[in-house]
Amino acid sequence: MIATFINCFKIEELRRRLIFTLLVLVIVRLGASIPVPGVNAEVLNHYFSQVIDQQKQGSVIGLLNIFSGGALENCAIFALTIMPYISASIVMQLAVGVIPTLGRMAREEGGPQKITQYTRIGTLILCAFQGYMTVRIFEHPEANPFLPGIVDTIQKYGHLVPHMGIMFELPAVITLTAGTMFLMWLGEQITDRGIGNGASLIIAIGIIAKLPSALVQAWNAYITPSAAKSASGASPIILIILIVFLLAVVAATIALTQGMRKVTVQYTKQVRGNKVYGGQSSFLPLKVNYAGVMPIIFANAILLMPAMMASWMLPASWVWARTFAASMGGGTTHHIFMAALTFASSYFWVAMVFNPTQIADDMKRHGGFVPGVRPGDATSSFLDTSMTRLTFAGAIFLSALAVLPTMVHEMLKVPMVTAQFFGGTGLLIIVGVLLDTMRQTETFLLQRHYDGFLKKGRLRGRSTAMPSSGNALPEKQILWLIIVICIILIGGIVAITLQKG
């Protein structure tokens, strides 16, 4: 593995792309620490630290803070993250599949550029709306149902926004909107000039940024003397079991992400003039988890609605309604609804995105057919049946993965910020992004006759004497650089642990 990392820096273009990606990600993390002008960020910092220490962090506010990479608790200019762009992209993707005019536009020449432009306009509108709502929350955090107990923090450390009014709201909304649009631009630059998908990398780096805090919370819960003497029975042995369990969950998630059924497609020979086209055999990949992370996101969004409506719209006398809405945040009711909604959302998303009729028509137009299946309607029916069966297996696994973090938090008393890495949206995003980045890096390595991340051993016919392009860095310097980075990371974790203690 170390030799593969060294080979990455021997290829000039790949080295340039890696350095560019790292520099952009550093800018993203810096923006997550710069507070919005006019906001006293220490109030939310103290509130989040107290809530995490008491292990009362709700799944809603904790999930939002993890996705923002800590930008929410810092009241940063990147507090909205890149999620408005992701939301606009999802809406536009669904619209292309539902609205015939947009569907035809997407297949025409220059159509994808127009769809991208519409997505950017939708992102700007969503940013303005969400920015205004976020600013209102900054002004009146005590009215937010997902920030319980923040009144005590305000009384101790002062108001979150000392000077309210239009003179604060207008610059703050513009700042948050500009921050998200800048993130969108950075994501496009990573996609064009770097390695990996830019938008996905920005989300993943925000989730990974909370990993040191999760490790510290796990250390305080299972390793410190106070944890060893607690009534919950926490011990280093349980921590080792949790690590093994985490590795098993990650391995299963990778298998789910990589799993696919390869449907053989045979192309007939076509003679055009003096040339013969076709005649070769290919395959159509049908992924087990075709919907990706979207079913869990849909299920989370739907479960948030009862709590929000009960807190903002229902009167205080309706105790039963508020109790039912509160049960959606955890417990047996939450697990049942979360698993059911994730299962149903998997089929919904596949039905919206996967179009077997169009795929069958395209195959027939290009002279392709599935062996043993007639072209046309029979092929469409075959693909629909195959995808339905694959989606069933993927939906079952996604349903279990969706409720796993909450169950680990409730049953094993794991801090919520740590339990988020045992499944759910965060783990799926991290695994998917890392695999996609490794595939792109693999392509550069194999083109230069190097072993990649995903394949071991020398391939037949691969020349080992071909010189690499660019100036290769000395291997010892790269090894020392990796060692120094590891020492800095370990030192940072130890420093945070001592500070918490």
Asked if residue 331 and residue 198 are part of one domain, the reply reads: no
**Amino acid 468: pLDDT:** 39
Res 232: pLDDT: 46
Contact call for residues 298 and 304 (beta carbons, < 8 A):
no
- pLDDT score of 466: 37
Higher pLDDT, 454 or 396: 396
Contact 29, 70 (CB under 8 A): no
Of 297-301, 323-327, 457-461, 479-483, the range with the highest mean pLDDT is 297-301
440 is a domain residue:
no
Residue 460 lies in a domain: no
Residue among 238, 74, 278, 260 nearest 64 (CA): 74
Are 38 and 187 in a shared domain?
Answer: yes
Instruction: Give me 338's structure tokens.
Output: 């979360």
**Domain for residue 7, yes or no?**
no
- Please check whether residues 45 and 175 belong to one and the same domain: yes
Is the pLDDT confidence value at 148 over 70? no
- Residue-level pLDDT at 207: 82
Judge if 193 and 292 occupy the same domain: no
Two tokens at 36? Answer: 């919005």
pLDDT recorded at residue 316: 53
- Confidence grade of residue 465 (pLDDT, cut at 50, 70, 90): very low
Q: Is the pLDDT of residue 158 over 70?
A: yes
- Looking at residue 499, its pLDDT comes to 52
Enter the DSSP assignment of 345.
Answer: H
Residues 180 and 260 in one domain: no
Mean predicted lDDT score pLDDT of the chain:
75
pLDDT tens for each residue of 323-362: 665 555 556 777 788 888 889 888 888 887 788 888 888 8
**Average confidence (pLDDT) over 14-35:** 86
Task: Judge whether residue 449 has pLDDT over 80.
Answer: no
Is residue 19 located within the same domain as residue 165?
A: yes
User: What is the 3-class SS of 107-139, one letter each residue?
Assistant: HCCCHHHHHHHHHHHHHHHHHHHHHHHHHHHHH
Is the pLDDT score of 319 beyond 50? yes
pLDDT given for residue 276 in this prediction: 60
Last residue of a domain, one of 412, 447, 473: 412
The pLDDT value recorded for residue 56 is 44
Chain-centre distance for alpha carbon 498: 30
Q: What is the pTM of this model?
A: 0.73
Query: Can you tell me the distance from the alpha carbon of 423 to that of 164, in angstroms, rounded to the nearest whole number?
Result: 40
DSSP 8-state symbol, 36 = P
What tokens were used for 203?
Answer: 């989300």
407 and 347 share one domain: yes
Please give the structure tokens belonging to residue 151: 């009144």
End-to-end CA distance of the chain: 36
Residue at which a domain ends, from 355, 380, 412: 412
Same domain, 96 and 178: yes
192, HSE (Cβ side, Cα atoms, 13 Å): 6
pLDDT digit string, tens, across residues 177-195:
999 999 989 988 888 888 8
Helix (H, G, I), strand (E, B) or coil at 5: helix
Q: Which residues pair with 5 in a beta bridge?
A: none
Residues 264, 157, single domain; the answer is no
For residues 8 and 441, what is the distance between their CA atoms, to the nearest angstrom? 8
Which amino acid would we find at residue 415? P
Strand order in the sheet with 260-267: 281-287, 260-267, 368-369
pLDDT (tens digit per residue) in 89-127: 878 877 887 788 887 887 788 788 888 888 899 999 988
Beta bridge partners of 281: 266
The 3-state DSSP class for residue 225 equals helix
DSSP, residue by residue, 299-330:
HHHHHHHHHHHHHHTS-TT-HHHHHHHHHTTS
How is residue 208 written in tokens?
Answer: 């990974």
What pLDDT does residue 244 have? 84
**Model confidence at 307, in pLDDT bands (50, 70, 90)?**
low
Tokens matching residue 145:
């149902």
Distance CA(493)–CA(9), nearest Å, equals 28
**Backbone region of residue 495 per phi and psi (left: phi > 0; alpha: psi in -120 to 50; beta: other values):** alpha
Which tokens is 315 given?
A: 């009167």
Q: Could you tell me which of 416, 417, 423 has the C-alpha nearest to residue 401?
A: 423
- pLDDT class for 293, splitting at 50, 70, 90? confident
Domain count for the chain, please give it: 2
Q: Give the torsion sign (CA, 106, 108, 113, 115).
A: negative
Find the CATH number of the domain harbouring 142: 1.10.3370.10
Would you say residue 220 has pLDDT above 80?
no
> What local confidence, expressed as pLDDT, does residue 229 receive?
43
pLDDT at 439 over 60: yes
Q: DSSP letters of 69-90?
A: TTTTTTTBTTTTTTHHHHHHHH
Residue 272 pairs in a beta bridge with 275
Burial of 34 (0-12, 13-18, 19+ CB in 10 A): middle
CA atoms of 222 and 213, how far apart (whole Å):
14
Q: Does residue 454 lie in a domain region?
A: no
- Judge contact between 131 and 17, C-beta under 8 A: no
State whether 42 and 170 are in the same domain.
Answer: yes
Instruction: Report yes or no on 1 lying in a domain.
Output: no
pLDDT of residue 494: 58
Same domain, 120 and 260: no
498 pLDDT more than 60: no
Distance from C-alpha of 102 to C-alpha of 117, rounded to nearest angstrom: 13
Which tens digits make up the pLDDT trace of 382-394? 998 999 999 998 8
Final residue of a domain: which of 186, 209, 232?
209
Together in a domain, 182 and 270: no
Looking at the chain, the whole-number percentage of residues with pLDDT higher than 90 is 2
Distance of CA 380 to the CA centre of its chain: 32
Q: Greater confidence, 183 or 413?
A: 183
Indicate the pLDDT class of residue 469, thresholds 50, 70 and 90: very low
Domain containing residue 196: 13-209
Residue 474 located in a structural domain = no
Residue 165 near residue 52, CB atoms below 8 Å: no
Note whether residue 476 is domain-resident.
Answer: no
Task: Answer whether 142's CB lies under 8 Å from 120's CB.
Answer: no
- The answer to the question of residue 246 being in a domain is no
Closest CA to 17 of 201, 192, 199, 186: 192
Structure tokens belonging to residue 362: 């395209």
